[in-house]
Amino acid sequence: MRGRAELTSPSRGTVPIMSSSLLTAMRNPVIRASMLAIFLFGFAGAATSPYQSVVGITELGLSDAFYSALIFVAALINVVVSVTVGIVADRVGSYRTLMLAVILFGVVGYGMVYAWPTKPSFVLATLLLLPIYGALNSLLFANVRTAANDMGGRDAAAVNSAVRAAISLSWVLVPGLVGFVLSARGSMLPAYLLASLGCAANLILVAFLLPHKAGVDPALGKRLSYLASLAEILSPRVLGRLIAIALISSTLHVNAAVLPLIVTGAAGGTATDIGMVVGVVALLEVVFILVWARIQYRLGHVEALALGTAVYVVYMALLGFSDRPWHIYALTLVSGFGAAALISIPITYLQDLIADRPGLGSSLIAVNIFLGGALSAALFAIGTRFSDYSGTALLGATAGLLGLVLLLMLDGKRARVPAS
């Protein structure tokens, strides 16, 4: 497989040759611009997502049940749009025009909520405009994939990790700054203005600074109809691996739900401890994503993902037994290291499932996010029904372990084959 290729040199045989993934990315103008675009994409989400429920429920008066249903349907629409846009991008052989189109939905969606803060505008933006804008994530990674395909497969994985680190960096920097700036205003609606301005900046960047990069040969993209492309996603080869990755990814969502509750509950901490732990882990993720890029280069995607999953399963199990604040702080290093693997390595793994069609392959990222979120919601409901938050953390660890076993059953043999 192309993703398993290694570089060689006359003097060093098959010893991998790899410069820093960040330096590799910054030398390529397409990847350099894409990293800035993905940072701005993350900026819009980081500026609004932590405060979305506050705006919708507290400021605009939506009910809890209606808001929950709205978020679920929006996530489902994002999956459908991401897959559709990916298929269309492969058929036309270009991503840049589609990027500009979906970014416009972000400019209008975020801006409308700020300029017209009513229930209808919030519902329209959350249910339709912003899910369409969310397809930009898959398009950017598809664009990066086509630009990185000229490199060795493992260098391409390193570039994916570097680009993914740009999103994490936005989540390290933006939420706290937005919260600090808006804390004295009594309303979080200006966060949507900041997000709209971020989308506008992204529109300018893509229009004028992102070099044109052809995708796949349109003839290749047109070989399958829309329904046939969906059938390819639902084929046993792809679907089984999607389920494995979704089980693994669900541990991240379970952790996001139970960590604050364990910190202030079983561990006896405070809200300040939550902020400190989340901030430290987010910062560690940025650093460790680049570390995992090098690990992928040496081990390959499957082995690195299996190792990262094992680390995070251990973290979730230890979190379930934590009953002191210092236990939580001591686990930040393990959490950051494992989480960095689980948010970066699956990108390349999923793209490789349909490697000849970057648009469709990258749309699997959105499918995985949806499936992982749905599984985590079920795990949280079951765990809190029959146990407490600590028990739910242990249930999340069990789901991650099941995903790891399924991954090794499907790809463990391939992972043991030496790279060519």
Give residue-wise pLDDT tens across range 31-61.
888 889 999 999 999 888 888 888 898 889 8
Place of tokens 């949280």: 380
> 113, 125 in Cβ contact below 8 A?
yes
> 181, 162 in Cβ contact below 8 A?
no
> 224, 99 in Cβ contact below 8 A?
no
Confidence band, pLDDT 50/70/90 cuts, at residue 417:
very low
| pLDDT value at 220 more than 60 | no
Alpha helices (H) along 2-28? 21-27
324: phi > 0 → left, psi -120 to 50 → alpha, else beta; which?
beta
DSSP 129-141: IHHHHTTHHHHHH
Work out the angle between the directed axes of helices 301-320 and 271-299 (0-180°, nearest 10): 160
Which domains can be identified in the chain, with CATH numbers?
17-223 (1.20.1250.20), 229-415 (1.20.1250.20)
Q: Is 94 helix (H, G, I), strand (E, B) or coil?
A: strand
Q: What is the pLDDT of residues 116-140, one digit of tens each?
A: 999 999 999 999 999 999 999 999 9
Confidence band, pLDDT 50/70/90 cuts, at residue 266:
confident
| pLDDT value at 79 more than 80 | yes
Percent of the chain surpassing pLDDT 70: 87
Structure tokens at 154: 């493992």
**Alpha-carbon dihedral of residues 19, 22, 27, 32, nearest 10 degrees?**
160
Q: What backbone torsions phi and psi does residue 209 show, to the nearest 5 degrees? A: -115, -20
Q: How many angstroms from the chain centroid is the CA of residue 346?
A: 9
**Mean pLDDT within 223-241:** 83
Q: What is the pLDDT of residues 319-360, one digit of tens each?
A: 999 989 999 999 999 999 999 999 989 988 998 898 788 888
Locate the DSSP E strands across 105-205.
none
Place of tokens 């009910």: 63
Please give the pLDDT value at position 209.
86
**Alpha-carbon dihedral of residues 214, 151, 346, 84, nearest 10 degrees?**
10
Output the average pLDDT for the chain: 84
Please give the pLDDT value at position 217.
55
Q: What is the pLDDT of residues 361-379, one digit of tens each?
A: 889 999 999 999 899 989 9
Confidence band, pLDDT 50/70/90 cuts, at residue 18:
very low
CA 362 – CA 137 distance, rounded (Å): 9
Please give the pLDDT value at position 278.
82
Place of tokens 């819009």: 44
Alpha helices (H) along 183-300? 190-208, 218-221, 226-233, 236-264, 271-299
| pLDDT value at 419 more than 50 | no
**Mean pLDDT within 135-146:** 89
Q: Which residue has the higher pLDDT, 37 or 257?
A: 37
Please give the pLDDT value at position 356.
80
Percent of the chain surpassing pLDDT 90: 43
- How distant, in Å, are the alpha carbons of 77, 127, 338, 380 from that of 308? 30, 34, 5, 22
Structure tokens at 66: 């209606």
Confidence band, pLDDT 50/70/90 cuts, at residue 418:
very low
**Mean pLDDT within 182-206:** 90
